[in-house]
Structure 1
Amino acid sequence: MTPQAVVFDIGNVLIEWQPERFFDSVIGADRRRAMFATVDLHAMNDRVDSGETFRDVITETAQATPEWHDEIMLWHDRWLDMASPAIDHSVRLMAALQSRNIPVFSLTNFGIQTYDLAATRYPFLRQFDRDFISGHLGVIKPDAPIYAALEETSGLPPQALLFTDDRIDNINAAAQRGWQTHHFTGPQGWADRLVSAGLLTKDDAT
Structure 2
Amino acid sequence: MTIEAVIFDIGNVLIEWQPERYYDAKIGEARRRAMFAEVDLHGMNDRVDIGGEFTQTIYETAETYPSWRDEIRMWHDDWIELATPPIDHSIRLMRALQAKGMPVFALTNFGIGSFAYAETKYPFLGEFDRRYISGHMGVIKPDPKIYEMVEADCGIAPERLLFTDDRADNIAQAKARGWNVHLFEDPQGWADCLVSYGLLTAEDAT
TM-score (norm 2): 0.99
- Structure 2 match to 1:204: 204
Percent of aligned pairs with the same amino acid: 63
- Deviation of the 1:124 alpha carbon: 0.6
Are 2:168 and 1:161 aligned?
A: no
Q: Could you tell me how far apart the structure 1 residues matched to 2:65 and 2:113 are?
A: 23
Matches within 5 A, 1:1-206: 1-206=1-206
1:97-142 Cα distance to aligned partner (Å, 9 max, x none): 0001100000000000000111111101001000100000000000
- Deviation of the 1:2 alpha carbon: 2.5
Q: Could you tell me how far apart the structure 2 residues matched to 1:171 and 1:126 are?
A: 24
Gaps of 5+ in 1: none
Aligned residues: 206
Q: Could you tell me how far apart the structure 1 residues matched to 2:145 and 2:126 are?
A: 23
Superposed CA RMSD in Å reads 0.4
Q: Could you tell me how far apart the structure 2 residues matched to 1:26 and 1:37 are?
A: 17
- Deviation of the 1:47 alpha carbon: 0.1
Contact 1:8 1:107 in 2 (8 A): yes
Q: Could you tell me how far apart the structure 2 residues matched to 1:125 and 1:84 are?
A: 14
Q: Could you tell me how far apart the structure 2 residues matched to 1:3 and 1:179 are?
A: 10
Q: Could you tell me how far apart the structure 2 residues matched to 1:143 and 1:133 are?
A: 13
Secondary structure at the aligned position of 1:199 is classed as coil
Secondary structure at the aligned position of 1:162 is classed as strand
Gaps of 5+ in 2: none
Letter in 2 for 1:109: N
Contact 1:103 1:129 in 2 (8 A): yes
Q: Could you tell me how far apart the structure 1 residues matched to 2:89 and 2:15 are?
A: 11
- Deviation of the 1:3 alpha carbon: 1.0
TM-score (norm 1): 0.99
Contact 1:2 1:198 in 2 (8 A): no
Q: Could you tell me how far apart the structure 2 residues matched to 1:101 and 1:149 are?
A: 24
Secondary structure at the aligned position of 2:98 is classed as helix
Q: Could you tell me how far apart the structure 1 residues matched to 2:102 and 2:65 are?
A: 47
1:73-112 Cα distance to aligned partner (Å, 9 max, x none): 0000000000000000000000000001100000000000
Contact 1:142 1:170 in 2 (8 A): yes
Q: Could you tell me how far apart the structure 2 residues matched to 1:25 and 1:34 are?
A: 15
Q: Could you tell me how far apart the structure 2 residues matched to 1:191 and 1:122 are?
A: 21
